[in-house]
């Protein structure tokens, strides 16, 4: 729809136009007064001068606007038509009648053709060549079918089939057909653009066509008299046409450059088809009812057929263009112009197995470019990289963009050639980064993985991705080949994932328990449940191997849930059937578990069902969880803490620790990572760090558990630093539930201290 900003400022030419119209009417009155032709001559002269005045006003508007070609053409068409009417008036004044054909009516037909060109030129500002031809053919389709309908319904019976064979009949039919096309064109443009500025022009042309129908009816009938009322209507038509086209052509430049939407084009197509079919149906119905087939009907029908054929040809051309565009979009990245993932798969399908390598390239530092310089610079970097990659690749090597900052390259030939191409890509990426303003401030490089295609091309693509990850892990800005250790590690990972998925479903992942001891008395105060897995095919799989696989594959929540349920059940049963003192159970929980809505409520229901007091459970989470205090996982921990469940920060000191987390989070236990424990016997600075952490935690207050205690020296140092509890192989390794009572009894028996002197992880300050 048009907006106020799209409307023309017509105030400058309206006074001049009105003055010209008034002057024209005055001249017409004077001429008529001096002639005995009366109203008919007055109306003809008036229409001519009104057309000339409208043309002058349009030229004035064109001059103020800065020379608009469609407007100039319309002004010319209007002036030519006005001149033609003045010539008709001259003939009428001389002979008292209008003979057909004559110079004046011929000029009117020429003017109509020029007017069509002006409107098409204005519409062309918003259409491509095919779209412009399409809407013209639609207008011709409407005009020819309308002409056929008018002839069959209104004229053939009244005038007779032979009337159109006279000179006057031919001119009249040509004028009517031309005007019908103009009406159709304006209606379709309005329907396409929904611009109300065209409505005055449509109304004006409608008045004009109505007047010409009346004139044609009279001129071809008995008496050959032109009704002056119909001629006078043309005085109203031209100003309306001028205002409408002026408003339409005065749309803002930006709006006129916009191409019509697919919905707009569909409106035009549907309207043309429905209207044409309806008019043809009526025309054919009249033909069948009268069974009179005249020459004009045949000629008009042939015109309809030719226009329909041309229209379908243009439709076919448009469909082919659209198909080419869709194919381009479907197989190419719009930003870089490289082929996309779909094009890559098609290229790989055509490649020879064993004789082609696929390279996967990922930009190192691209995220930093987006974060520091903005996404516009990131896009510029991608375009520069694509251009640089194209420039260095041999003619038979093709590059693709398959993700955000990920590219793929297909290299025919041996692995050595693929490796050489990959090394060239590293240089090309560094050069491209230097060409992007500001990118030099960020370390931008590339990591490349290379794999040889086998029978399954998708497997080759996956393998190159594995090699790419290996290149990143090895330090970036390098090339890695999917071969040897990398391939073996990948195959092992796939096997572990497959078997782990089956083991989780079958209950093959079980809990073992490692004791937590009081550092002063060496008595057991709690246990930590640790996941263990013995596989019939793979043997004993270390947690250091299967836990990362579980995290990558999304199995970690299922593993954690299985260990939690088993350990709560085991410890509850142990406390009921043994004479051991009460123990605290620590269970590791992943972020995936904690971020599940209602997880805390499910844990509390499990404790109530199995009968374990909430303060006997400690949920252990890593410090990386606490980066965002608004994380849903943190809210779940607050729910658990409010119910009495303890929260332990696990592996503290292994990452980018923030002491501020200790004050903000609902934690009652701090577990210091084994990496710091191993340093305390070697480094006095590490001892000072340990003492500071322990002192801060105790003051909050929090219980401190030091992990990884493996020697007596470490035991004494962490005890002297002020820590209360320890965990490690010095005391015992993790054991299954069946061996736990004997292990606890052995540790407590060696301590020589009575239970009353031993602290508890479920102490009053921790609950």
Taking only the tens place, the pLDDT of each residue in 305-330 is 888 888 778 778 777 877 887 887 88
Average of pLDDT values for 95-118?
72
Kindly compute the dihedral angle of the four CA atoms of residues 733, 737, 743, 747, in this order, to the nearest 10 degrees. 80
Which CATH number belongs to the domain containing residue 590 in this structure? 3.20.20.450
Q: Is residue 162 part of a domain?
A: yes
Instruction: Specify whether the backbone of 708 is left (phi greater than 0), alpha (psi in -120 to 50) or beta.
Output: left
Tens digits of per-residue pLDDT, 365-378?
999 999 888 999 99
pLDDT of residue 665: 82
- In whole angstroms, how far apart are CA 422 and each of 397, 400, 434, 446, 451? 11, 14, 19, 10, 11
Are 354 and 257 members of one domain?
no
Tens digits of per-residue pLDDT, 620-637?
998 766 556 677 888 899
Q: Is residue 418 part of a domain?
A: yes
Q: Is residue 765 part of a domain?
A: no
pLDDT of residue 253: 44
- In whole angstroms, how far apart are CA 77 and each of 67, 216, 484, 492, 679? 16, 21, 82, 82, 96
SS3 13: coil
Residue with more model confidence, 19 or 115:
115
Q: Within 10 Å of residue 40's Cβ, how many Cβ atoms?
A: 23
422 is in which domain, residue-wise? 341-483
Are 307 and 427 members of one domain?
no
Q: Which of 125-129, 398-402, 615-619 has the lowest mean pLDDT?
A: 125-129
Instruction: Check whether 220 has a pLDDT greater than 80.
Output: no
Instruction: Check whether 247 has a pLDDT greater than 50.
Output: yes
Are 478 and 443 members of one domain?
yes
DSSP code of residue 339: B
SS3 656: coil
Q: Which of 172-181, 185-194, 559-568, 754-763 has the lowest mean pLDDT?
A: 754-763
Q: Is residue 24 part of a domain?
A: yes
Are 352 and 315 members of one domain?
no
Residue with more model confidence, 60 or 671:
671
Q: Is residue 657 part of a domain?
A: yes
Are 447 and 573 members of one domain?
no
Q: If you average pLDDT over every residue of the chain, what do you get?
A: 81
CA-based nearest residue to 489, from 509, 465, 470, 464: 470
Are 684 and 587 members of one domain?
yes
Tens digits of per-residue pLDDT, 473-523?
999 999 999 998 999 999 999 999 999 999 999 999 999 999 999 999 999
Are 363 and 272 members of one domain?
no
| Token pair of 50 as six digits | 């009104």
CA-based nearest residue to 49, from 17, 73, 96, 8: 17
DSSP per-residue codes, 599-625? HHHHHHHHHHHHT--GGGEEEEEEGGG
Q: Is residue 328 part of a domain?
A: no
Are 35 and 99 members of one domain?
yes
Q: Is residue 536 part of a domain?
A: no
Q: Is residue 685 part of a domain?
A: yes
Are 123 and 235 members of one domain?
yes
Distance (Å, whole) CA 705 – CA 691? 13
Note the pTM of the prediction, 2 decimals. 0.60
Are 309 and 364 members of one domain?
no
Q: Alpha-carbon torsion 712, 713, 716, 718, what sign?
A: negative
pLDDT of residue 735: 96
Are 268 and 144 members of one domain?
yes
pLDDT of residue 763: 52
> Residue 458 in contact with residue 442, Cβ under 8 Å?
no
> Residue 603 in contact with residue 645, Cβ under 8 Å?
yes
| Token pair of 766 as six digits | 């921790």
Is residue 40 very low, low, confident or very high in pLDDT (cuts 50, 70, 90)?
Answer: confident
Q: Within 10 Å of residue 392's Cβ, how many Cβ atoms?
A: 15
Share of the chain above pLDDT 70, in %: 76
SS3 681: coil
CA-based nearest residue to 422, from 467, 470, 478, 379: 478
Kind and range of the H or E run holding 398: strand 398-401
Is residue 537 very low, low, confident or very high in pLDDT (cuts 50, 70, 90)?
Answer: very high
Which CATH number belongs to the domain containing residue 453 in this structure? 3.30.70.270
**Residue ranges of E strands in 365-506:** 398-401, 406-412, 445-452, 479-481
Q: Which of 115-124, 131-140, 463-472 has the lowest mean pLDDT?
A: 115-124
| Token pair of 251 as six digits | 């749309």
Share of the chain above pLDDT 90, in %: 40
pLDDT of residue 194: 60
Pick from 268, 290, 320: which residue ends a domain? Answer: 320
Instruction: Check whether 75 has a pLDDT greater than 90.
Output: no
Is residue 619 very low, low, confident or very high in pLDDT (cuts 50, 70, 90)?
Answer: very high
Residue with more model confidence, 240 or 506:
506
Distance (Å, whole) CA 238 – CA 245? 11
Tens digits of per-residue pLDDT, 687-728?
999 999 999 888 888 999 999 999 999 999 999 999 999 999
Q: How many domains does the chain have?
A: 3
Average of pLDDT values for 119-139?
62
Query: 264 phi and psi, to 5 degrees?
Result: -65, -45
Are 68 and 209 members of one domain?
yes
Is residue 98 very low, low, confident or very high in pLDDT (cuts 50, 70, 90)?
Answer: low
């Amino acid at each position: 729809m048009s907006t106020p900003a799209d409307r023309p400022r017509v105030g400058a030419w309206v006074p001049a136009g009105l003055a010209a119209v008034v002057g024209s009417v005055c001249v017409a009155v004077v001429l008529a007064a001096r002639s005995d032709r009366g109203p008919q001559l007055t109306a003809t002269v008036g229409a001519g001068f009104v057309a000339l005045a409208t043309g002058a006003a349009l030229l004035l508007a064109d001059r103020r606007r800065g020379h608009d070609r469609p407007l100039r053409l319309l002004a010319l068409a209007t002036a030519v038509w006005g001149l033609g009417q003045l010539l008709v008036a001259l003939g009428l004044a001389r002979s008292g009648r209008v003979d057909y054909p004559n110079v004046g009516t011929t000029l009117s037909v020429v003017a109509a053709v020029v007017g069509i060109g002006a409107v098409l030129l204005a519409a062309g500002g918003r259409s491509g060549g095919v779209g412009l031809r399409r809407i013209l053919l639609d207008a011709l389709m409407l005009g020819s079918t309308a002409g056929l309908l008018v002839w069959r319904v209104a004229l053939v019976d009244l005038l007779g089939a032979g009337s159109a064979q006279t000179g006057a009949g031919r001119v009249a039919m040509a004028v009517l057909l031309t005007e019908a096309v103009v009406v159709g064109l304006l209606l379709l443009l309005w329907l396409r653009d929904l611009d109300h500025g065209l409505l005055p022009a449509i109304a004006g042309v409608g008045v004009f066509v109505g007047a010409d129908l009346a004139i044609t009816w009279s001129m071809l009938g008995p008496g050959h008299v032109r009704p002056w009322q119909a001629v006078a209507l043309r005085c109203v038509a031209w100003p309306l046409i001028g205002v409408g086209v002026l408003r339409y052509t005065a749309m803002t430049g930006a709006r006129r450059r916009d191409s019509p939407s697919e919905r707009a084009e569909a409106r035009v197509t549907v309207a043309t088809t429905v209207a044409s079919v309806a008019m043809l149906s009526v025309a054919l119905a009249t033909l069948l009812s009268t069974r009179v087939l005249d020459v004009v009907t045949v000629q008009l029908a042939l015109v309809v057929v030719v226009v329909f054929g041309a229209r379908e040809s243009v439709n076919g051309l448009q469909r082919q263009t659209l198909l080419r565009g869709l194919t381009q979009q479907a197989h190419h990245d719009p930003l870089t112009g490289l082929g996309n993932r779909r094009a890559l798969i098609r290229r790989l399908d055509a490649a020879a197995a064993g004789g082609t390598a696929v390279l996967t390239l990922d930009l190192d530092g691209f995220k930093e470019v987006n974060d520091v310089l903005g996404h516009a610079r990131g896009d510029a970097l991608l375009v520069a990289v694509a251009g640089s990659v194209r420039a260095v690749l041999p003619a038979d090597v093709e590059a693709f963009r398959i993700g955000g900052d990920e590219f793929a390259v297909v290299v025919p030939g041996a692995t050595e050639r693929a490796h050489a191409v990959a090394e060239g890509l590293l240089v090309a990426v560094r050069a491209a980064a230097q060409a992007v303003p500001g990118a030099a401030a960020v370390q931008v490089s590339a990591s490349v993985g290379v794999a040889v295609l086998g029978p399954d091309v998708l497997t080759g693509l996956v393998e190159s991705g594995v090699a790419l990850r290996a290149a990143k892990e090895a330090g970036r800005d390098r090339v890695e080949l999917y071969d040897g250790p990398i391939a073996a590690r990948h195959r092992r990972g796939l096997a572990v994932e497959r078997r782990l998925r089956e083991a989780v479903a079958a209950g093959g992942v079980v809990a073992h328990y490692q004791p937590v001891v009081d550092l002063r008395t060496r008595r057991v105060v709690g246990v930590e449940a640790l996941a263990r897995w013995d596989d019939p095919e793979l043997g004993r799989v270390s947690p250091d191997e299967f836990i990362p696989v579980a995290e990558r594959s999304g199995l970690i929540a299922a593993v954690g849930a299985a260990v939690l349920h088993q350990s709560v059940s085991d410890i509850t049963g142990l406390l009921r059937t043994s004479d051991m003192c009460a123990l605290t159970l620590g269970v590791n929980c992943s972020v995936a578990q904690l971020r599940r809505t209602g997880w805390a409520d499910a844990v509390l229901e499990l404790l109530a069902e199995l009968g374990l007091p909430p303060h006997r459970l400690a949920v252990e989470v890593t410090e990386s969880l606490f980066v965002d205090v608004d994380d849903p996982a943190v809210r779940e921990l607050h729910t658990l803490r409010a119910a009495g469940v303890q929260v332990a920060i696990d592996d503290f000191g292994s990452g980018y620790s923030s002491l501020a987390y200790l004050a903000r989070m609902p934690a009652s236990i701090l577990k210091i990572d084994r990496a710091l424990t191993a340093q305390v016997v070697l480094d006095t600075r590490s001892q000072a760090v340990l003492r500071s952490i322990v002192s801060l935690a105790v003051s909050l207050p929090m219980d401190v558990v030091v992990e990884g205690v493996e020697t007596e020296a470490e035991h004494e140092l962490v005890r002297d630093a002020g820590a209360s509890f320890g965990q490690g192989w010095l005391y015992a390794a993790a054991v299954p539930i069946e061996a736990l009572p004997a292990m606890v009894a052995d540790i407590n028996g060696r301590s020589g201290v009575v239970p009353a002197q031993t602290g508890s992880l479920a102490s009053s300050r921790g609950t």
